[in-house]
Structure 1
């Protein structure tokens, strides 16, 4: 197994640095395309969200893969490698698998336990498949990872502990626009969702984060208006939540009217400038305006937070959010971590068994060749043997060979499933003088199903 991951996230870099490396879907596709001509990387999946940018790859060599991955991230984000390096982390082989399983389970998220990352990883994998940069190694890894993420949410209460970024963000701004008497952070025991009912909310953008915000607000009883540069996209999101789609040209007037503004467009620069919000505030008659900016880079000019009546929450402020029920969260996190450890061990064991399987097949193939040669020689020396005797001798020889090989081949698979199992595979090759070329020619089996695969060139 030669999985390599290089990236940066909210855990290793400030929001400002994450803004600098933000990649659009088109940018991710171009990064994936470069893998096709790489010397040390043969497969790749890129996870690009508001909180992380990670490149997963099948690396022929560790150092060569690290050098190429770093150069690719620098080139496609436009950030010099020397400025990027302090924020980068690298994981290899089993540590890379463990990291991905933590990510899909919500353990590495800004809001621990949030489930949106699972959908984002699934979409990242689909994009890589479309780009033709996934093969046997990352295909098995990401399919397993998605299953692990589902299992974590199905078998534990991590969902109760973890809230999506949208939910946390709304909880931070909704009280500011609630009816008179509700103070920010003091909702008298009532959920923020109760305060949304009857509010009018403008959602700018039509991506997954914006769609999640729109559906969350609609479910809580808000009147949702959706704006996007592509009218068809806005109409799709609005129709899904029973809201209204509007053109971007109506933005100035709507910001003066709505109670909440949620934006996540994925644009390269500021979409809602200070002057636009300042003019809207002047027309609001003192009514408060809650703004939730989930975009990376920012959609809203951060200076609007200084305007009277405006409460702004963005990724930087949400990163500081703390869950009040720390003890319960710790218990749920421990449950998920136990699942991750179990799944990493199982995946790694399966991969180790898959790596020794070609050697076992090569050994049995060599044995069959020897048996056939000896039976042919016997037939030449004893041409008068009748067919029944020949068949009995042939069956007896094959049974003897099978019995002699059974124990060592079964045992080497058992030992190979343990850490350091490659040593046993090497010993088997050495003891039986197996030609490495004969092993490499064996089609690799699927480590999960036990069936033969089709990629004879998979690296081990």
Structure 2
């Protein structure tokens, strides 16, 4: 089996391309279920944010898995492959594992070390797990990645002077307005990005915040958090007349604010500058708005210049984190290697259990006067003895299974214990049930090497 990640991000594709291949929250579950039906896909997780769309898969063949994922993207978004394939990156096995660790630690983000991606990856994993689209491999890998990210943010200074895309938007606003404390801010969209940006604004001393959202209840909830005022969508135009700063991050599929509307409103604004940051993917504000006098419009790509500032300390911490990532990658590969020995352990355990039962039956035949209680004592004694004998060999098997000569090691042990015909030496994804053994028993073996 192979681990595969196929995706695009702010480094490989412009916002125009990214918005065409962005999953909405409402559609992601159906997308996962559709992808999981592809023949080569054993496990899958879809990570979709403003800056990236990535599909993580466990596949039996890399080439077939890559084809299945690109076919899925083409079918799901209704886009010809030549329109998006040049912007895709494909990483497999070690590189895919390392990429996930870098992503969840914030090292692959537009803002180095940002913490928002951790929650987004965790949510994506939980969603796929809830849909039973993850199994033993991804359950282990994503939990390890999430734990690593938490440790990174605790043990390093990568998050000092916290910066995120929302914070970068405010820093850009400060370059237009020397003081933003007394400016009126309109937050369009009451989602996570709007809330994060609003909290940053409040921390900067802004106290005039208007929250506009299609669902008024959500606008009220966010306005209460920010100590602002909630407005219905129908009052957006009047809010734009008052606004100095507009932060837009909705889930709309089309423009929410158009050039013609802003052009009409400018007559009522008396040439006051209007700073607009479009954080939506797809974009919320018609790009041609930026052509208007006294209007300054920026989108997600424009924030890159801001996030590049003052990152020297974070880059230093990032080098430490790369070392931590490498340790975790090696640890995961070591664990992955031990999975190859599971069939061997299962076969040996099954063989010893058969031998135990044959020995007990032999004793019963030779000593027919034994009571059921006495037979149970004998059976239990045999079991304890065999478990004690196998304990150290099993530990050695698990340790040596992760070595570079794993196949030779497994072959020698199989031959030593006479298990050649009964033992599968491939990594068991998905787990195959052996004759006479239960899925629960296999799971116990997996749990024993966690």
> Residues of 2 paired with 1:38 and 1:91: CA distance?
19
> Residues of 2 paired with 1:273 and 1:445: CA distance?
57
Deviation at residue 336 of structure 1 after TM alignment: 1.6
The answer on 1:217 being equivalent to 2:201 is: yes
> Residues of 2 paired with 1:335 and 1:97: CA distance?
18
The answer on 1:231 being equivalent to 2:216 is: yes
Paired residues of 1:161 and 1:329 also in contact (CA < 8 A)? no
CA 1:208–1:444: 2 relative to 1, 3 Å: farther
The answer on 1:296 being equivalent to 2:281 is: yes
Matches within 5 A, 1:91-170: 91-160=91-160, 163-170=163-170
Deviation at residue 31 of structure 1 after TM alignment: 1.0
RMSD: 3.1
CA 1:70–1:403: 2 relative to 1, 3 Å: same
Give a deviation string over 1:194-216, Cα, whole Å, max 9, x none.
x3322210000122111111221
Paired residues of 2:5 and 2:96 also in contact (CA < 8 A)? yes
TM-score with structure 1 setting the length: 0.85
Secondary structure of 1:226's partner? strand
The residue that corresponds to 2:246 in the other structure is 261
**Greater Cα offset, 295-304 or 370-379:** 370-379
> Residues of 2 paired with 1:258 and 1:392: CA distance?
83
The residue that corresponds to 2:86 in the other structure is 86
Secondary structure of 2:74's partner? helix
Matches within 5 A, 1:298-447: 298-321=283-306, 323-374=308-359, 376-377=361-362, 380=365, 383=367, 405=390, 408-419=393-404, 421-434=406-419, 435-436=422-423, 440-441=433-434, 443-445=441-443
Deviation at residue 231 of structure 1 after TM alignment: 1.1
> Residues of 2 paired with 1:128 and 1:402: CA distance?
37
Q: What are structure 2's unaligned runs of at least 5 residues? A: 425-430
> Residues of 2 paired with 1:391 and 1:202: CA distance?
76
CA 1:364–1:30: 2 relative to 1, 3 Å: closer
> Residues of 1 paired with 2:357 and 2:324: CA distance?
49
> Residues of 1 paired with 2:383 and 2:233: CA distance?
77
> Residues of 1 paired with 2:284 and 2:445: CA distance?
46
Aligned residues: 435
Q: What are structure 1's unaligned runs of at least 5 residues? A: 179-194, 453-460
CA 1:448–1:197: 2 relative to 1, 3 Å: farther
Give a deviation string over 1:174-231, Cα, whole Å, max 9, x none.
33133xxxxxxxxxxxxxxxx3322210000122111111221123222211111111
The residue that corresponds to 1:450 in the other structure is 448
Deviation at residue 448 of structure 1 after TM alignment: 8.8
CA 1:400–1:31: 2 relative to 1, 3 Å: closer
The answer on 1:35 being equivalent to 2:35 is: yes
> Residues of 1 paired with 2:303 and 2:408: CA distance?
48
Paired residues of 1:8 and 1:88 also in contact (CA < 8 A)? yes
Paired residues of 1:445 and 1:451 also in contact (CA < 8 A)? no
Paired residues of 1:206 and 1:234 also in contact (CA < 8 A)? yes
Paired residues of 1:351 and 1:447 also in contact (CA < 8 A)? no
